[in-house]
Structure 1
Amino acid sequence: MPQICVIGGSRYFGRHLIRLLQDDGHHVTVVNRGSAAPPAGADHVVADRADAAALARALAGRTFDAVVDQVCYTPLHADVARRVFAGRTARYVMTSTMEVYDPATSPSLLPPAATPVREETVEAASWPVDPDLPWRSPEAVSRLLGEAGSYAEGKRQAEAVFARDPVFPFVAVRSAHVLGGGAADFTGRLRHYVDRVRAGLPVVVHRDPAPTSFVHHEEIAAFLHWTATRSVATGALNAASHGALTVTGLCTAIAAATDAPAPAYRVVTGGEPASPFSFDRPYAIDNGRAAALGFPFTEVAGWLPRAVADLLQES
């Protein structure tokens, strides 16, 4: 029976990933700090993934066909994983983010207007790693780089550690914004829009909001399953449903799904923050590489009404 290790995975789309792996006949071992039990049928290894010695002891004698790392946020996390899993796994999949392309923290990465960003825009193997940043203190890094900047830079540098001198085949799944209804709305962002649109409250947006990319929580789980169980590629893979949306397009779709009146908007002023998913520059990713390798992405327009209905059903 194929052996898969999932680091994290006890909530959000990680639980769906584990069920997909189990349904496909894989034996799953979940590694976390013990804060949540894994789904039924999975082995549970309690360890701090940031502690190399403790993680190695907890995994003594175990080898895996693949590892899916759901909670790799810094180059220190990546260095621990690289040392502990070298010789212990045949494939390593890191859940990364489209925010590695964020021009708010890396102005030189800004793509040509309206052009979805391709993977080569950020080449992880050549990205600089700064071990002197206080990665063990998220608050300290956030003070230096800002909350969004520290998350994006942590993911970029984590990818760099794996890619620069690979000790196993490595894939960085650069996920679009994940949406889902009900319990899957982990960030609360979909509810933010559904509640405001249904109540007729204005959504704060940029004057000319640009499109961005989304993926359903079940689809990103399926994509991680696909990358972990098939030797289709290494390196970065963008994961996004077809059909980028502006924030106003998202609100219009929500209004249609809930029979709400036309959404109301208020243009951001001064240093005021805009609503989530409102961007003042192009912020969509190109899923062409993964699609060409055979992954059947769906359309945002196809799953968004169901996500909204799932959220309302649990209200």
Structure 2
Amino acid sequence: MDILVIGGTRYFGIYLVKELLTQGHNVTIATRGNVKDCYGDKVSRITFERTDADSVKKALSDRFFDVIYDKIAYCSNDVKYVLDVIKCNKYIMMSSTSVYEKHWNTKEDDFKPLEKKLIWCSRMDFPYDEIKRQAECALWQSYKNINAIAVRYPFVIGKDDYTKRLFFYVEHAIKGIPMHIDNIDYQMGFLRSDEAGKFMAFLADKCYLGPINGSSYGTISIREILNYVIERTGKKAVLSEDGERAPYNGEPEYSINTNEAEKLGYKFSDIKDWIYVLIDYYIESVIFK
């Protein structure tokens, strides 16, 4: 298939593109052209400024792809700029579990974008969770004729995680830097970065339409993470209301239901099978830095 990946030059977008290439697809990546990619002559390239409607129109107008992966559709205008000018058999948008009021066993129908008022907005108009909701509202309300999937992930983490949010807890614990954590015992969901890319690629030829969750099986709390760091290093995490605010503060206790993905034949890993290996990597990164 001819596949367009909007984004795809960093983090789990790289795993997505590499998996699509492994599957034998013809892949084109669309970016601003500011970051050198690692694909050589294996992909074709389109350059545009994603937040500029005229730039998108000039680059994509009247083009056709079997599948479009939109890794960077953050708001309703992002969706509009692309789907107003390009044709495809399937559009797969990177959404987020931030669209939910998360809770235990969070399922796809816990957020219904057809029942929410659509607001055409730019990326800075609302907080992240609301602009992602509006991106889905635009997709499902204004482009009902397009075969579409919205992939909803929780926090994606890995050795290549540029946000360094999980790393924050490991580094602060080892260095004794005070942290303010408001949800230390809350169980939360995560997904490994390579799986995030591979699951999206898995969806390319699947007969599925609508939102779909992706997440590792199981959950973990920040206390469990810190206890492991303490056990491995002998250090003691310093918790203080005057400390630096931790990056996962404000998150509720929740789990993500992935039954829809499993029905399609995709089995996610168990979080306890890999997260401690990742934490070990972070520990070594701090100690031997």
Letter aligned with residue 237 of structure 2: A
Which structure 2 residue ranges, 5 or more long, are not aligned?
none
Cα distance in 2 for residues equivalent to 1:156 and 1:273? 29
The whole-number CA distance in structure 2 between the counterparts of 1:286 and 1:253 is: 26
**In structure 2, what is the Cα distance between the partners aligned to 1:282 and 1:158?**
25
Q: 1:123 aligned to 99, 109, 112, which one?
A: 112
- Alpha-carbon deviation of 1:226? 1.1
- Whether the aligned pair in 2 keeps the contact of 1:117 and 1:285 (CA below 8 Å) is yes
Cα distance, 1:237 vs structure 2: 0.9
* CA distance in structure 1 between the aligned counterparts of 2:225 and 2:279, rounded to whole angstroms: 11
Alpha-carbon contact 2:187-2:221 (below 8 Å) kept: yes
Structure 2 residue 147 is matched with structure 1 residue 169: yes
After superposition, residues 264-303 of structure 1 pair within 5 angstroms as 264-266=237-239, 268=241, 274-279=245-250, 281-303=252-274
The Cα offsets for residues 291-312 of structure 1, whole Å up to 9 and x where unpaired, read as: 2322110011111133234444
Q: Determine the C-alpha separation between the residues in 2 that align with 1:100 and 1:5.
A: 25
2:128 paired residue number: 151
Match of 2:188 among 200, 209, 212: 212
Cα distance change of structure 1 residues 280 and 27 upon mapping to structure 2, 3 Å threshold = closer
Preserved contact between residue 246 and residue 278 of structure 1 (Cα < 8 Å): no
Q: Residues of 2 paired with 1:201 and 1:274: CA distance?
A: 11
- 5+ residue gaps, structure 1: 102-108
Q: Give the counterpart letter for 1:216 in structure 2.
A: R
- Tell me the equivalent position of 2:216: 241
2:172 corresponds to 1:196:
yes
Inter-CA distance 303–232: structure 2 relative to 1 (3 Å threshold):
farther
How far apart in 2 are the matches of 1:254 and 1:174? 29
SS in 2 for 1:64: strand
Query: Which residue of the other structure, out of 151, 154, 161, is the alignment partner of 1:185?
Result: 161
Separation in 1 of the partners of 2:97 and 2:72? 15
Query: SS in structure 2 opposite 1:65?
Result: strand
For residue 67 of structure 1, what is the aligned residue in structure 2? Answer: 68
C-alpha distance after superposition, 1:275-298 (max 9, x if no partner): 122446323322222123221100
After alignment, is 42-51 or 5-14 more displaced?
Answer: 42-51
One-letter amino acid matched to 2:152: R
Structure 2 CA distance for aligned equivalents of residues 110 and 187 of structure 1: 21
Describe the SS at the equivalent of 2:89.
coil
Q: Is the 8 A contact 2:178 2:244 kept in 1?
A: no
Q: CA deviation at 1:262?
A: 6.4
Alpha-carbon deviation of 1:69? 0.6
Shift of the 288–274 alpha-carbon distance from structure 1 to 2, 3 Å rule, reads farther
In the TM superposition, residue 24 of structure 1 has moved relative to its aligned partner by: 1.3
- Deviations along 1:58-96, one digit per CA (max 9) or x if unpaired, are 2356421211111111111111122123xx211111111
1:98 is matched with which residue? 97
TM-score, normalised with respect to structure 1: 0.81
Aligned residue identity for 1:55: V
Report SS of the residue matched to 2:28.
Answer: strand
SS in 1 for 2:274: helix
Shift of 1:204: 2.5
Q: Pick closer, same or farther for the CA change 1:110–1:219 going to 2, 3 Å.
A: closer
Q: Is this contact kept in 2: 1:179–1:217, CA < 8 A?
A: yes
* 4+ residue segments displaced more than 6 Å: none
Deviation per CA, 1:216-256, whole angstroms, max 9, x where unpaired? 000101111112x2223211111110111111122234445
TM-score (norm 2): 0.88
Aligned-residue sequence identity (percent) comes to: 25
Please say which of residues 11-20 and 151-160 is displaced more in the overlay. 11-20
The count of corresponding residues between Structure 1 and Structure 2 is 283
Aligned to 1:18: 17
- Alignment of 1:226 with 2:227, yes or no, is no
